[in-house]
Each structure stands twice: as C-alpha cells, then as structure tokens.
Amino acid sequence: MIHSKHATSLEAWEWINEFLVTREDKVKSKGGVRSGAQVISYDHFMEINKMWVDPEFDFGFMFGYKKQKWSILKSNYVDMNMVDLVKSEVLEREHKNMANYNLAFKFSNTHHHGHGCLISLVFQRRHSQDNPVVIINIRSSEVTKRLLMDFVLVQRITEYIYGDDVSASIKLFCGNMYLSAENFIMYHNHKDITTWVDPEHSVMEKRVMDIYEKFMKPEALNINYKVHLRAVKRLQKVDTTPLKAKDLLL
C-alpha cells in the first residue's frame, strides 16, 4: 500500500498528480506500471487533515468543464433521499454528543456514467479526535480531471450533513489510481510543468514534455481526437468558460 498524508484535499490532488508523473520508480516498486503514456498505481491510502478545495479553483479554466459536468456527477452518484437519511442518523448522534459512531452512505450509479468509481462514504466519530472523519472508498480514479471534483462532491455532502462550520478530515482508500500524459498536460495551468518535470529523469516525464511541446503548437488545434483537443485548448487557453469550486453546490 502507498500511504501518504496531506494538509488539504487540494494538496492531496496535487501530490498524487506529481507523484505519478515523477516517481515512476516508486510506482513500479509497489506493483504499479507505466504503459505508454499512462501510469497506473495500486492500493493508495491517503490521510487528509482538512477537507478543503480552494473556492476559487476554476474547473472551466483547468479542464474545460461546464456546469453540466457537475450536474451529471451529482445526478449519477447522489440520491438526496439517502443523504437525508444519513444526515438524520448523524445529527441524532451528534445531538446526543456520542463520541463514537460509524454511519455509511453508498453512492448511486444511476446513469452508469461513472462506472461505479465512487463506492461509499463512512461518517465517523472517533474517541481520539475532536473533528469527524469521512472515509472515502473509491474503486478507481483518474487523478487529473476527476479526483478533485470528486473531493468537492464529498465536501458538499459533508457540509450538507454537518453544516459549514464543522471541519472534517478524510481517510481515502483507492485500489486503482491512474494518469495519462495527455490529460495531465492540463495540470500546467495550475503549476508550470516546465519548471519541475525533467525529461531526463524518467520515461514518463519525457512523454509528458514531448506531448506538451506538441500540444502547444498552433496546428495542434486541428487534432480530431476530442480528448486530446480538450487538452490542447486548455493549454492554448481557447474557449474558456469559468466554473469555480465555490459555484459547485449540492
């Protein structure tokens, strides 16, 4: 198992992206693999001290997402009737000042768009902690485009249950985390990859920089493959529509 600790959800997202790109050796030593321009890493356990994504983080600028993306994520995974049932059970125990409880929420997969990637949440109080813990179980995660929006979804559900003034920590279990160089290129808009990705260090880093140089050329806007064209447009800042984390509401 690959065990990591992070201050916030945003920092955890940054770490896993940079880890998969720059630590090909570590990934392989733990049973993972690089296949072409994709890295797959298994059995991750992430401890996150504070559930927090910068409210100004712009999913539109970063990934070209529109509000429909958030709406589909919610409608596919979140049954509000079930959320309300869990909320009532949590609040009952909170009002009784119970120092220990474990209550589970299972994600739906109504439209099958998510392929069952999000499995469940457990809302937990522990004798040893003042703040609640949310345990996230994920089947598989594409870490660049999807993981951070999943973190926002969990944060909104938690805020709905406990209220905005309660700070929760996260324990995340994921059996399969992966990243492709073509998607990762969009991370450049968050942190300039030319300053820290070293094409001399590993095969994956060389693939990333080769694709970066290819996608930065004007003729790359003529690429037919939509997934790659999305990354090209983000790098070249074409057709940008803001979609900030603070606007993603449950």
How far does CA 117 lie from the centroid of its chain?
11
Q: Where are the domains of the chain?
A: 2-244
Query: Could you list the pLDDT tens digit for every one of the 250 residues in the chain?
Result: 999 999 999 999 999 999 999 999 999 999 999 999 999 999 999 999 999 999 999 999 999 999 999 999 999 999 999 999 999 999 999 999 999 999 999 999 877 665 789 999 999 999 989 999 999 999 999 999 999 999 999 999 999 999 999 999 999 999 999 999 999 999 999 999 999 999 999 999 999 999 999 999 999 999 999 889 999 999 999 988 999 999 999 9
Tell me which amino acid residue 59 is: F
Rounded Cα–Cα distance for residues 82 and 84 (Å): 5
Contacts of 99 (CB under 8 A, 6+ apart): 125, 126, 127
What pLDDT is recorded for position 239?
A: 83
How many Cα atoms sit within 13 Å of 100 on the Cβ side? 2
CATH topology of domain 2-244: Thymidylate Synthase; Chain A (3.30.572)
User: Can you give the pLDDT at residue 115?
Assistant: 75
The residues near 55 (Cβ < 8 Å, ≥ 6 apart) are 244, 245, 246
Residue corresponding to tokens 């209220």? 163
What are the DSSP calls for 62-118, one per residue?
HH---HHHHHHHHHHH--HHHHHHHHHHHHHHHHTT-S-EEEEEEPP-SSSSSTT-E
Residue 20's Cβ-count burial label (10 Å; 0-12, 13-18, 19+) is buried
* CA distances, 239 to each of 57, 119, 146 (Å): 17, 34, 20
State the Cα–Cα distance between residues 192 and 28, nearest whole angstrom: 26
Look up the pTM and report it.
Answer: 0.95
Residue type, 8: T
Q: Which two tokens stand for residue 126?
A: 């522990």
Q: So what's the pLDDT on residue 113?
A: 60
Q: What pLDDT does residue 210 have? A: 97
